[in-house]
Amino acid sequence: MSLLDKISPFERKDLLIAWLVLGVAFTLGINGGLAIITDYQKLTIEGLLITFLVSLIAVGLSFVLHELSHKFTAMKFGYWAEFRKSTQMLIIAVVIAAITGIVFAAPGATLINTAGREMTKKESGLISIAGPLTNLVLIIPFLVIMIIGFLMSPSAGIVLLTLPGFLFYLGMIGFQVNAMLAFFNMLPVGPLDGKKILRWNPVIFGVVIAVSLVLLYLALMPTVILQFFV
């Protein structure tokens, strides 16, 4: 049985809906929410479509693989696990992005059924850390894509509606989304992954959240990296 066969039709539908709605939310957020209305002259259909495509690719890989890593790690320990979307949180994500230009993404969660078996701290920690680690690994290809787009761009600057501009934009957004997802989920509060990881192994928690914070800073300040390629 392949990994795809382990994703039920119901789960696939929930993942697809959450993916598309998050794509819309990030498109609104990247374009400044309601600022689109007051600054509509700078907005083009081509630019909007490219932003949506970039959001789908970046968010799709970042979000879907994050949740599936939780699922398959839990299944490795013999548990049933499936992603379930939160319609309410998806609506909130779009509304907040539209009003403020800020994306608050909590589209749902991977539910785990232990069938009455008590989950150990180690199992809980490993299942939890699988998500943030996946996002940290995904930073690598997106960072490479960003640098390639930068190196391909003419000296006059980066233009979105060109191949170099698209690659740079895709890489930068993917870098930022994965860095934010990794750091946010490592926070040791509420139902987030960080709380379970800290309870399992404080040293590993400290290392991963520190790396996530550094990468988040670099993602939000990409010129720190790009200056080495000028």
Q: Which range (31-40, 126-135, 143-152, 187-196) has the least confidence?
A: 31-40
Pairwise pLDDT comparison (205 vs 48), residue with the higher score: 205
| Phi, psi dihedrals of residue 85, rounded to the nearest 5° | -70, 160
| pLDDT confidence tier of residue 40, bands split at 50, 70 and 90 | very low
Output the pLDDT for position 1: 57
Set 11, 46, 67, 118: catalytic member: 67
Domain locations in the chain?
A: 4-223
Residue 67 among the catalytic residues? yes
Q: Which range (22-31, 36-45, 134-143) has the least confidence?
A: 36-45
